[in-house]
Structure 1
């Protein structure tokens, strides 16, 4: 693992969005990558759209794979490492699933043997095509695939915790077979940490794959409840990083803040730079942080229809590749981080429930969530520990924890709310 925190961006092509795979233009991609590299970032996360790459269960389009390799090679020419998401999956409110899994061919994404075989072959094929590229970091199984497994998705593919566990292991093994020794992982949206009936569990997130990934979006009730400049809003990403550590079996398992962005109108455009600066600063105070990958590189073009309004303005760069104030903030943070020293251990641990059926206590509005930010507002720099490990002195010592506290033991916030 690198000693310095990595800074990168989720690559959203400026022309055609992710539909650019249908009309792949190497010159446009190179211009996009030039604008990213000019910010001083060191990696990108890219998104092949699954139905475009594997339109039939036994057809993985060779030309599509060649284009992915060409993108990775173009990134290498600009000093950018690349993580590749495989099963796309879900992006910016749209689902992209191949026809062989839907309607007349409706089969469960996580339990059907034929679908699982097709997915594993696809992931292994992409990984193998990139295995010899020095700038290929590894595979992420897919983007927030847990949203397919439970509500509020309108047509979920239901599965048990045990079935999801088996699916994760099978998919990660396929990536490892294709590209041995690379950084292969899986990533879910925050229902994994907050939603009681999610079959993707915190333990799976923190124990399968090379690193733990968290995706931080303050439109989950945090900014609505606390406001755009509150402690919970500006430290939400750091909270997820520290919450993830409670379930890890390795005391210093790296955590990747793989998605974080400034969503309007909760974070207005004129406040996006200040939010970015505060979010990055708080995340960098988390030990064992692998990297920060901002969502996203370029704005979605207004020529494209039906996106949620916030998606059109999330880019660090405009649709014509001009950097915004948020880009300058991230570039400055990346430059400073190269010479920074790792943060000190977080010695105070807030006790959280190990039972995934009680994880909503950690969600916005829950007692664990509120207690964490009361501690943060008081300058305590908290982390978290499972209730089943709160008395394990060896575990606590390995993590540098000298004090544990439960939510009910944390003094109530003053009138006006936590950090509001």
Structure 2
């Protein structure tokens, strides 16, 4: 059984994975926003090719041979970019910047791999810092024919998917019995609780967390929101939640406290009074460009949430959440996240933590004591390190 597990290749984990939504390196930030709005994934892949994408909606591909995925972009990248001091005054102008301004300087986050690479090799790349493994996939001939009737085939007739840490964890969980007794051990016994984590105080300004949010996105973790007095965990500002919003959340981050930001991005939409606070503070700060975009987005969200009989909303009707929650049915495939933190305890078993994280579609779980004091965080990377050592011992044993 162990030998069978070691025989699995990257291609085996790609079965059923959808092809990537491509975006040209020559695109703008606005193009990235448009692509994210129609993508069923929270990220879009950015490609450097010797052919040209004429638009986001209708890409036209040439016969180039060399195509490389050079990075990935999500709405959190856009939001953090708009929160930069130089972009606050004119967010519309900032959206015209090349998408390359959003790309991480760490080129290892996205790695091309051969579909015949082993499971061990894939985990090793992830432990080295890769977040997404780009893998060429076979396209169903019927699907390819249907697609060719709309747009030419991408990347010189090839399509790609990518594997994430979550994909690998899910795969390992399906064979968890082979790793006994390790999965039953506590995370404390396995020494995988990371006590260095990102945090902010409840009443701290959300603007002061921009660096932490950006860092948490890079580390695929989150920013803990803790009580000002006793340091207990209250909630979190998660990139996974922010990625499900739209770019106007930058206005909320600029004007609100960390605690109010949690309420703003939480499932169900921001309270009306918080929306009014954001508008008022944008005006006080003379951020007219951001205020205009925020008002337009609020009006669009309000109109999109109207009933089927086109009943008009009264001025006192609470504004619904802006962004993807009110967008199209394409979002239904994703899980809407709340700002309530997913937690476990030091004595929680490894397998229990894995199941928690997968169930909530996050790459980490916060670790707390019984009094809710924050101990640390356990990440998929920490967990994969445990399995990697176990797989190596299996390989050497065989």
Tell me if both proteins adopt one fold, taking TM over 0.5 as the criterion.
Answer: no
Larger radius of gyration: 2
RCO higher in 1 or 2 (8 Å CA, sep ≥ 6)?
A: 2
With normalisation by structure 1, the TM-score equals 0.24
With normalisation by structure 2, the TM-score equals 0.25
